[in-house]
């Protein structure tokens, strides 16, 4: 089983076919960065058309059992998520509405302060806001996963403690391995995993040691060492694959509507653009390289099966449905 904890590709029939060639059973896809509710609904409409046009390749995922159906029928299950809480605007009632429409993950912040939590680019992190506490409670109730991939340290630790359900960091790596603003310090990873949450390892070059020159062995050794420290059952892949996206999309990710200036982020001082991917992971057909790399650094078949998809499957199964009686 192969499950990817996050992608934001420039979706096309080519990519859907590559998913099938790579044996990818499920993907959590970003359908909103800075979009409001109505704009997010338009993105869902776009995905509905893709489900209609490519029924032999993809299907809409709502529950873990949809992954079983996808595997049985040779397709990839697509699960929706947001990298910002902007789709709920300032209305907690939209959490349930969007879950009904298929949303299964929502980050409480992107890089900046939101109404709910603090992003990792802010100088100060006051933690989860009053509204954030209420939204976490509502996400727990309906079965929408709290994602803290872009959030700052205190906010992430507090979210893990406040949430009645396990939370996720769907796409990041340990800060100790590669010091990047988006990578996570040990105390953050510990807070998430000790509460039953998940960390998805990112292939985005700015989060890799050596960036695009990172070797497969270095990446897989990092995974093995993280498993030794925090437990393999709480780890998976969240590639953050942005395949075929134009460089202008990086500017949209960082800038959205909040500034007129260019936000250079963790890249160079030049205009934002996508860095080159490692040559061993360019698209969905390359997940087998990660599996081989994990085996080469001494991980067992059972551990590898969990990392490549089994752990995400269990997490989906436990956390996408509502809480009875609440």
Identify whether the C-beta of residue 224 lies closer than 8 Å to the C-beta of residue 297.
Answer: yes
* Token representation of residue 97: 């509405």
Listed residue (14, 18, 13, 12) closest to 239, CA to CA:
18
Rounded to 5 degrees, what are φ and ψ at 316? -60, -45
Whole-number Å distance between alpha carbons of 278 and 201: 14
Which residues touch 49 (CB under 8 Å, ≥6 apart)?
A: none
Tell me how far apart the alpha carbons of residues 175 and 184 are, in angstroms, rounded to a whole number. 5
Set out the domains of the chain in order of their start, with CATH numbers. Answer: 3-319 (3.20.20.140)
Would you tell me how many other CB atoms lie within 10 Å of the CB of residue 247? 10
CA dist., res. 90 & res. 80, Å (int) = 20
Contacts of 314 (CB under 8 A, 6+ apart): none
Burial of 200 per CB tally in 10 Å (0-12, 13-18, 19+) = buried
**CA distances, 137 to each of 134, 217, 283 (Å):** 5, 40, 36
User: Which pLDDT score is estimated for 266?
Assistant: 63
First to last CA, the chain: 33
The confidence score (pLDDT) of residue 67 equals: 98
CB 160 within 8 A of CB 197: yes
Residue 108 CB-half CA count within 13 A = 37
* ∠ CA 210-5-73, rounded to 5°: 130
Q: How many CB atoms neighbour CB 221 within 10 A?
A: 17
**CA–CA distance, 326 with 308 (Å, rounded to integer):** 33
Q: How far apart are CA 52 and CA 245, in angstroms?
A: 23
Separation CA 25–CA 3 (nearest Å): 6
DSSP assignment of 84-106 equals SSGGGTT-TTHHHHHHHTTEEEE
Q: What are the contacts of 40-49 at 24+ separation with CB within 8 A?
A: 40/82, 40/86, 40/87, 40/98, 41/101, 44/80, 44/101, 44/102, 47/78, 47/80
Estimate to the nearest angstrom the gap between the alpha carbon of 73 and the chain centroid: 25
pLDDT in tens for each of the 326 residues of the chain? Answer: 999 999 999 999 999 999 999 999 999 999 999 999 999 999 999 999 999 999 999 999 999 999 999 999 999 999 999 999 999 999 999 999 999 999 999 999 999 999 999 999 999 999 999 999 999 999 999 999 999 999 999 999 999 999 999 999 999 999 999 999 999 999 999 999 999 999 999 999 999 999 999 999 999 999 999 999 999 999 999 999 999 998 888 888 888 888 888 777 665 545 678 889 999 999 999 999 999 999 999 999 999 999 999 999 999 999 998 775 44
Q: Which of 294, 254, 289, 286 is CA-nearest to residue 271? A: 254
């Amino acid at each position: 089983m192969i499950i990817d904890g996050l992608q934001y590709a420039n979706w096309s029939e080519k990519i859907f076919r590559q998913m099938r060639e790579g044996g990818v059973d499920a993907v959590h896809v970003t359908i909103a960065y800075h979009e409001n509710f109505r704009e997010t609904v338009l993105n869902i409409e776009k995905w509905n058309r893709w489900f209609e046009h490519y029924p032999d390749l993809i299907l809409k995922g709502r529950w873990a059992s949809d992954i079983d159906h996808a595997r049985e029928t040779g397709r990839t299950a697509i699960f929706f998520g947001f990298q910002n809480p902007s789709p709920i605007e300032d209305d907690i009632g939209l959490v349930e509405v969007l879950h009904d429409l298929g949303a299964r993950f929502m980050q409480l912040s992107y890089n900046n302060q939101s109404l709910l939590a603090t992003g990792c680019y802010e100088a100060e992190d006051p933690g989860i806001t009053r509204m954030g506490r209420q939204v976490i409670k509502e996400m727990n109730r309906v079965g929408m996963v709290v994602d803290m991939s872009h959030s700052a340290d205190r906010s992430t630790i507090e979210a893990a403690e406040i949430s009645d359900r396990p939370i996720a960091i769907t796409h990041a790596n340990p800060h100790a391995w590669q010091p990047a603003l988006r990578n996570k310090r040990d105390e953050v990873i510990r807070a998430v995993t000790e509460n039953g949450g998940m960390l998805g390892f990112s292939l985005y070059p700015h989060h890799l040691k050596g960036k695009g020159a990172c070797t497969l062995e270095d990446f897989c050794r990092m995974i093995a060492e993280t498993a030794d420290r925090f437990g393999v059952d709480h780890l998976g892949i969240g590639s953050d694959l942005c395949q075929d996206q134009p460089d202008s999309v990086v500017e949209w990710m960082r800038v959205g509507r909040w500034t007129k200036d260019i936000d250079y982020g963790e890249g160079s001082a030049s205009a934002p653009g996508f860095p080159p991917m490692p040559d061993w992971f360019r698209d969905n057909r390359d997940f087998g390289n990660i599996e081989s790399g994990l085996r080469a650094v001494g991980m067992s078949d059972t551990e590898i099966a969990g990392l490549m998809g089994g752990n995400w499957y269990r997490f989906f199964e436990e956390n996408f449905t509502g809480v009875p009686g609440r």
